Amino acid sequence: MQTSLHNISLSSPYRTINNDQLNASNNESIYYIEDEEEILWKSRPDEWSDDVRMNALFAPFRNRDLNPLHYDNKIKFWKQVIVSFCDEKKKIQFDQKKLENYFIRKGKKPKCLELVINELHREKSILTSQEFLKPKSGILVSMFNKLVWSPISWSTSYLFKASNSNGESTTTFYSSSFTPKSPKSNLENSFSSPQKVKDSQIFILPNIAETKSLELLKKIQSQIVYNNVDCVLEYEKLFHLVSDTLNDQDLDLILKYLEINQKILIIESNELNTKLIKFCSNSNQNVLPLNEIELSYLKLKDTEKKLEFESDKLTNQIDSLNNDIKVQLKLGNKNTALKLLKKRKQLEKSLENKDNILNNIEAMIMSIQQADTNKITMDVLAKGVNALKEANKGVNIDQIDDTMCEFQDIYNQNNEIEEALAKSPIGNKTIFDDQELNDELNELLAQESLENNQNECVDGSFKMDDLLKNLPSVPDSSPKKSQITSKQSFSFNH
């Protein structure tokens, strides 16, 4: 896979060479380090702060026979560091040069990573892009054998066969020149023993790549609203959707991986002049081929986009003509203003036609989208009808009528029993006059109030305020003698 160097952010400690240098270097991943900056990462090992220890770990490997323990520990250290760093930074792929730049420490690069990369590759902890994109499905391998390898083997053997003077066929030239083997043995031989890799060889971390692939698939599936048309995306929209987590190289790798595993289809549409990605609506299912409904929907959406662009362009032209007409009228150029007015009318008519076409296309798009909802609704209603039929199976309407009549009889009989039990056994002789009861109740209340007053007098619990209220008021003037005598005599006579 070709490595692109144009998506590294400006804040990165790496910068790329220019295009001429890049072409001259056969597109290799060449980086320059500015100011020898170090990349910060949380999972640094404790040894990273030990200069003596890190100098030994950064040094090239010596012969293992000299110190096997140190050799093995150094291999183990770097394998853990590489995996933990890539896991933290979500690095899906790397080459040796890029990896050395990741681990710059105090202006120094590790000089021992080539052997560590080979060891990781041998353990299948990292894979080449060809190995990672190897089909895992037995069906695909079988199709590859039948459609590719078998015809190649037959045609090659036919072309290279020769006949001797006795008419017997010989394959001496065939066997010495080219001996095709089964794809399985070829693949096994190519993956069995990793060879020495170049520092520009791209390696994939399969666990991280597979996790990212699953996350991408779930993310685009979450955007589905209408299952019949929303499973197809343009590549540009997909890249915009995931640009915050994936660069273009990683996205291309993941898309190829998903395509190999039959989760997406990558379609180059010449008619629409774009790359289309169709994905499966369910992660447990394989992707289906692009159908006529999806293709028609995409054409309608493309036409809608073009019409909207043309309508906006016409609107801008009409606005510009309005301004020009006003200017010409102010200048007194009536004929020029009239020509501009006619042109504006033509553009307005064209805009009206395009708007009508656009409305029809939008209505058609909505109908296609709604068709999926209608289909789902019909399926749900059909299942509901079947469920209701199954629930009412064995129920007879005559039996229901008989049961309801019997229920009514039992209900009426129960009411009669309750009414009979509620009747008094001694008749209605206990009925009293309400007026007599009220009079008796008032007498009881008056008697109770009198008893309370008598109790207060017996207890002597008089209140001084009540006593003062009952005394007569003080006169304003002195009484006359005649009045005193008459009152005293009245008092005595009494």
Domain CATH for 269? 1.10.10
- 284-292 contacts at long range (C-beta below 8 A, 24 or more positions apart): 286/262, 287/231, 287/262, 287/263, 289/265, 290/232, 290/265
Whether 226 and 245 map to the same domain: the answer is: yes
* DSSP line for 42-82: TT--GGGG-HHHHHHHHSPP--TTT-HHHHHHHHHHHHHHH
Torsion of CA 344, 345, 349, 355, to 10 degrees: 50
What is the identity of the amino acid at 452?
N
What is the identity of the amino acid at 349?
K
Whether 4 and 71 map to the same domain: the answer is: yes
d(CA 368, CA 230): 11
Q: What is the pLDDT of residue 363?
A: 92
Q: What is the pLDDT of residue 319?
A: 94
Range of the domain at 270: 206-290
Whether 112 and 59 map to the same domain: the answer is: yes
Whether 98 and 1 map to the same domain: the answer is: yes
Q: What is the pLDDT of residue 465?
A: 62
Q: What is the total count of domains within the chain?
A: 4
Q: What is the pLDDT of residue 110?
A: 92
Please indicate, yes or no, if residue 95 is contained in any of the structural domains: yes
Please indicate, yes or no, if residue 397 is contained in any of the structural domains: no
Percent of residues, the chain, with pLDDT higher than 70: 69
Residues of the chain with confidence (pLDDT) below 50: 1-35, 140-141, 144-145, 148-194, 484-494
d(CA 292, CA 437): 93
Please indicate, yes or no, if residue 262 is contained in any of the structural domains: yes
Please indicate, yes or no, if residue 123 is contained in any of the structural domains: yes
384-419 burial by CB neighbour count: b if 16+ within 10 A, else e? eeeeeeeeeeeeeeeeeeeeeeeeeeeeeeeeeeee
CA nearest to 372, candidates 234, 225, 264, 265: 225
Please indicate, yes or no, if residue 1 is contained in any of the structural domains: yes
Whether 43 and 143 map to the same domain: the answer is: no
Q: What is the pLDDT of residue 171?
A: 31
Please indicate, yes or no, if residue 356 is contained in any of the structural domains: yes
Please indicate, yes or no, if residue 421 is contained in any of the structural domains: no
Question: Do the Cβ atoms of 133 and 252 come closer than 8 Å?
Answer: no
Radius of gyration of the chain (CA): 50
Question: Do the Cβ atoms of 340 and 325 come closer than 8 Å?
Answer: yes
Tokens of 325: 């007409």
Across-strand partners of 32? Answer: 15
Residues 6+ apart with CB under 8 A from 75: 115, 116, 119
Across-strand partners of 264? Answer: 279
Tokens of 125: 């902890």
Whether 57 and 68 map to the same domain: the answer is: yes
Whether 122 and 3 map to the same domain: the answer is: yes
Domain end call among 359, 381, 403? 381
Whether 277 and 213 map to the same domain: the answer is: yes
Question: Do the Cβ atoms of 91 and 212 come closer than 8 Å?
Answer: no
d(CA 264, CA 283): 10
Please indicate, yes or no, if residue 119 is contained in any of the structural domains: yes
Can you tell me whether residue 333 is helix, strand or coil? coil
d(CA 48, CA 31): 23
Whether 302 and 350 map to the same domain: the answer is: yes
Whether 92 and 102 map to the same domain: the answer is: yes
Whether 229 and 336 map to the same domain: the answer is: no
Question: Do the Cβ atoms of 78 and 119 come closer than 8 Å?
Answer: no
Question: Do the Cβ atoms of 122 and 75 come closer than 8 Å?
Answer: no
Whether 283 and 308 map to the same domain: the answer is: no
